[in-house]
Amino acid sequence: MKTFLIPLFILAVLLIGVLFLFLVNPVTTLDIIQLAVIVLILAGTAIFVMDRYRSYRRREPAEDEYSKSLSQKAAAISFYISLFLWLAIKILSDRFTLCTCSWLTLGVLAMALTNVITWCLLRFRGLKNE
Amino acid sequence: MNNRIKEFRARFGLTQQELADKVHVRRETIVFLEKNKYNPSLMLAYHLSRVFDVTIEELFSFE
């Protein structure tokens, strides 16, 4: 199985799903914020897909020790940030009125965004002395 | 940790891609190694030293 096809498939499904949701339902301010976050996540995923595709064309392994370290480090940092993020959401939920479902959606999207941003930053910065 | 991978690669006339293929990693890994932005595992350091036919100590220095 071509390794870049799986993330490409996920990217396509996400894109179609988002477009469908926003075409069917009326758009609110919260929807626009969520759409912006989803677009950022999709952009991060697109970088990931292009990365895999380049490796496939060069007949390189899809993952090696560097890329695995990168993913693990990004996951570890984003998990740590997410803890504080949920704490912030808890504080904000006392001040702003939103349904629980919306807060959860925002939280999950923020977690995904944190992971994507961390991965991209580490991808360009490198993993020096780790 | 510093390394002399770029120097040895040039001496052996290898491209980054060729070296990556020899040690079964992605070219990106070689790029980051040469920039000293990644410390390799012992296994990768061993494979690199085998490609250049030198000891690990000659290839990597711990300062």
DSSP H or E stretch at residue A67: helix A65-95
Rounded CA gap, A78 and A63, in Å? 20
Q: In total, how many domains does chain A have?
A: 2
Rounded CA gap, B20 and A93, in Å? 50
Note whether A107 and A79 are same-domain residues. Answer: yes
Rounded CA gap, A15 and B42, in Å? 41
Q: Would the CB atoms of B26 and A125 count as touching at under 8 Å?
A: no
pTM: 0.71
Note whether A32 and A76 are same-domain residues. Answer: no
User: By the 8 A CB rule, do A44 and A111 touch?
Assistant: no
Q: In total, how many domains does chain B have?
A: 1
Of A18, A46, A62, the residue that ends a domain is A62
Share of chain B above pLDDT 70, in %: 98
* pLDDT in single tens digits along all 130 residues of chain A: 566 677 778 778 877 877 777 777 777 777 777 777 778 778 878 887 888 888 888 788 878 889 899 989 999 999 999 999 999 999 988 888 888 888 888 888 889 889 988 988 888 888 876 6
Contacts of A58 in chain B (CB under 8 A): 17, 26-27
- Considering the domain boundaries, does residue B10 fall inside one? yes
Note whether A58 and A78 are same-domain residues. Answer: no
Contacts of A59 in chain B (CB under 8 A): 21
Note whether A48 and A103 are same-domain residues. Answer: no
Of A62, A77, A101, the residue that ends a domain is A62
Of A35, A62, A89, the residue that ends a domain is A62
Note whether A43 and A75 are same-domain residues. Answer: no
Note whether A72 and A20 are same-domain residues. Answer: no
User: By the 8 A CB rule, do B5 and B48 touch?
Assistant: yes
Burial status of residue A1 (CB atoms within 10 A of its CB: 0-12, 13-18, 19 or more): exposed
- Considering the domain boundaries, does residue B41 fall inside one? yes
Q: Would the CB atoms of B37 and A65 count as touching at under 8 Å?
A: no
Q: Would the CB atoms of A64 and B25 count as touching at under 8 Å?
A: yes
Q: Would the CB atoms of B37 and A127 count as touching at under 8 Å?
A: yes
CATH code assigned at B17: 1.10.260.40
Residue B48, domain extent: 2-54
Residue A44, domain extent: 1-62
- Can you give the pLDDT at residue A1? 55
Give the residue on B whose Cα is nearest the Cα of A57.
B26
Rounded CA gap, A28 and A40, in Å? 19
Note whether A68 and A113 are same-domain residues. Answer: yes
Q: Looking at this predicted complex, what is its ipTM?
A: 0.81
B47 inside 8 A of chain A by CB:
no
B22 inside 8 A of chain A by CB:
no
